[in-house]
A and B are shown apart, each in its own frame.
Chain A
Amino acid sequence: KNQVEQSPQSLIILEGKNCTLQCNYTVSPFSNLRWYKQDTGRGPVSLTIMTFSENTKSNGRYTATLDADTKQSSLHITASQLSDSASYICVVSARTGGFKTIFGAGTRLFVKA
C-alpha cells in the first residue's frame, strides 16, 4: 500500500534554532518527492522537489534530502524564524498507469520567540 509517514507530528523550537523533519514512504514506483509549507487555512506552497537521482535540494534556509534506497527524506530548517511556524507536508508521487500523489499528514512546527 502506498503510504507517506511523517515525524514528528508536531514540534516546538526556539527562534534561531535548527530542526529536521522526517518523511518515510512506501510509494512505488517512485516518481518524485516534494516538500510543502502550509500556513493555517491557506494553500500549500512548494519548497523543494526531488526526483530519483537527486539526493539534496536547497531553497534558502530549507534543505531537503532524499535517500531513495531507504525511502526516506528529511527537511532541515536552519536558523528558524517565527514565520516558519506552519505545517510541513511531504508528498510523494508514483507513476501507476495514471499518476498518483500521496500526501503525508504533515508536521506542525511552532517557532517561539
Chain B
Amino acid sequence: EAQVTQNPRYLITVTGKKLTVTCSQNMNHEYMSWYRQDPGLGLRQIYYSMNVEVTDKGDVPEGYKVSRKEKRNFPLILESPSPNQTSLYFCASSSAETGGYTEAFFGQGTRLTVV
C-alpha cells in the first residue's frame, strides 16, 4: 500500500529537549516536504526536499532542521523545541510525474506539544 508514515503520532516534550519526527514514504517519490498546521491557519511549509541531499527552506523554517540522506526518509529535527512549536505536523511526498512537485500523499500527522 502506498503511504507516507510519520512517527510518532503524538509527542509531549519539554522545552529544549532535542527531538526528531521521522517520515518515510514507500513510493520512490523525489519530492518530500514538512508542514505545520495551527488553529485558524492554513498549512505552512517548513522545509522541502526535491531529491536526495537537496533541501530548501519553506515559509517557516526557524527552529527546525531536516536531512535527506535517503530518498525514502525525510526526518524533521527540533534541536531545542520551544512552546511556540506546539502544533500538528504533516509530512508529504510527491512524484515529479504527477503534475509537478506538488504533494499527492500526506502522512497522518504528528501532534507535538512542547511544555
Residues on B facing A (Cβ under 8 Å): 4, 31, 33, 35, 40-45, 48, 50, 56, 58, 88, 90, 92, 98-109, 111
CB<8 Å pairs between A and B, sample of 19: A34-B103, A41-B88, A41-B109, A42-B108, A42-B109, A44-B43, A45-B106, A49-B98, A51-B99, A89-B43, A91-B102, A91-B103, A93-B100, A99-B50, A99-B101, A101-B33, A101-B45, A101-B101, A101-B102
Are A46's CB and B103's CB within 8 A?
yes
B92 neighbours in A (Cβ, 8 Å): 43
Question: Known contacts A31-B100, A103-B35; can you find 13 more A-B pairs with CB under 8 A?
Answer: A41-B109, A44-B43, A44-B90, A46-B105, A49-B99, A49-B104, A93-B100, A93-B102, A99-B48, A99-B100, A101-B33, A101-B58, A105-B41
**CB < 8 Å neighbour of A49 from B43, B48, B102, B106:** B102
**Within 8 Å of chain B (Cβ to Cβ): is A32?**
yes
Residues on A facing B (Cβ under 8 Å): 4, 31-32, 34, 41-46, 49, 51, 89, 91, 93, 95, 98-99, 101, 103-106
B58 neighbours in A (Cβ, 8 Å): 101
Cross-chain pair count, CB within 8 angstroms: 67
Q: A1–B75 Cα gap in the complex (Å)?
A: 29
> Closest CB of chain A to B30's CB: distance in Å?
11
Are B31's CB and A99's CB within 8 A?
yes
Are A32's CB and B100's CB within 8 A?
yes
